[in-house]
Structure 1
Amino acid sequence: MKIELSTRENLKDILNIINQAKLYMKENGINQWNEDYPKIESLENDILNKNSYVVKDGEKVIGTFVLIFGDEKSYQKIEGSWKTDLPYGTLHRVAVDNSYKGKGVASFILDFAEAMAKEKNIFSLRIDTHKDNISMRRFIEKSNFDFCGIIYVEDGTPRVAFEKILKI
């Protein structure tokens, strides 16, 4: 497996994986991603801003995620408290092709995000998810993120928020 910055040529594959995730969430009663989110414009902006990445197995795109360093608007207010006030990285829109779930792709993404953060002398990662997204919550908690509280995303809906302090 390898991770690369996403390009416009990856957009079709990214959309395919995002749509698989949307269907999974719909079938499991998780009101996190739907017809309105994430929009193609958001995905295109992520690529343009060089925050979007793809995971490849050979030349096949098998995962996608966004990694942003800097303040996240939705994280400015939290019902609870962050573990640190240090600069942080944020993981968004983590999704894995259905045929690759359970094969360590999400852990590979997290290892990459941690390495990128450390390269930038950033020692904190944050992530959020819907309260009902049990599989993602399980992964987040298994990966040593700590629950910090509730944040509200742009449309006003709540998300459970986590932070992980990275070892130096």
Structure 2
Amino acid sequence: MNIRKAKPDDLNSVLSLYAHARQQMAVSGNPTQWGSDKPALETVLQDIRQGCLFLIESGGEIVGVFAFLLGEEPTYRTIEGKWQNDLPYGVIHRIAGNGRQKGILEQCLNFCDTFTHNLRIDTHRQNAIMRHLLQKNGFLECGIIYVEDKTPRIAFQRCTDDPKTRREHRKNFP
């Protein structure tokens, strides 16, 4: 699998992945996290413009998408709980797959680990699949944060500071 930055020409493929993810969320008991309209088109376009939306490709097909940002996430400033540390971190948002390709989250994490050893992510309480995958991949539940629309999300963090797995924090994306 290959990971690259999304381009404006990729918009329809990205929107298709997000539509599939919304359907899967609803079927698996999580109809409210993204509802019928998230992520918003303007959010996706902004992610592309800012160069923080990444695509996972396999065999020439786009099979996954995620936003990855280095730096502070405003909604993470206040947490009902406690982060593992206050060190600089990367944030993963809006991750989705096509439903056929396994290992989307693992590919995303492998990519993000090359930029920082300190990752944060959040998800809806009803998103049992994502909660399980995060815990399986070494994330610890840290507490509750509230996103911009004031709905609660479970906040997770993973620190891979073992010298064998830690990678130096890069200044810029490739």
**TM-score class normalised by the smaller sequence:** over 0.9
As a proportion of its length, which structure holds more helix? Answer: 1
Q: CA RMSD in A?
A: 1.0
1:120 equivalent in structure 2: none
Query: TM-score of the superposition, structure 1-length normalised?
Result: 0.93
* Cα offset, 1:166, TM superposition: 1.7
What is the count of residue pairs matched by the alignment? 161
Q: Which amino acid aligns with 1:105?
A: I
**How far apart are the structure 2 equivalents of 1:28 and 1:112?**
27
1:155 equivalent to 2:149? Answer yes
1:46-85 equivalences under 5 Å are 46-85=47-86
**How far apart are the structure 2 equivalents of 1:136 and 1:35?**
19
* Cα offset, 1:35, TM superposition: 2.3
1:1-168 equivalences under 5 Å are 1-30=1-30, 31-100=32-101, 103-117=102-116, 123-167=117-161, 168=166
**CA deviation digits over 1:7-44, x for unaligned, max 9?**
01111111101000101112233111122321111000
* Cα offset, 1:135, TM superposition: 0.6
* Cα offset, 1:54, TM superposition: 0.2
* Structure 1 residue ranges (4+ consecutive) displaced by more than 4 angstroms after TM superposition: none
Gaps of 5+ in 2: 167-174
Identical positions, percent: 37
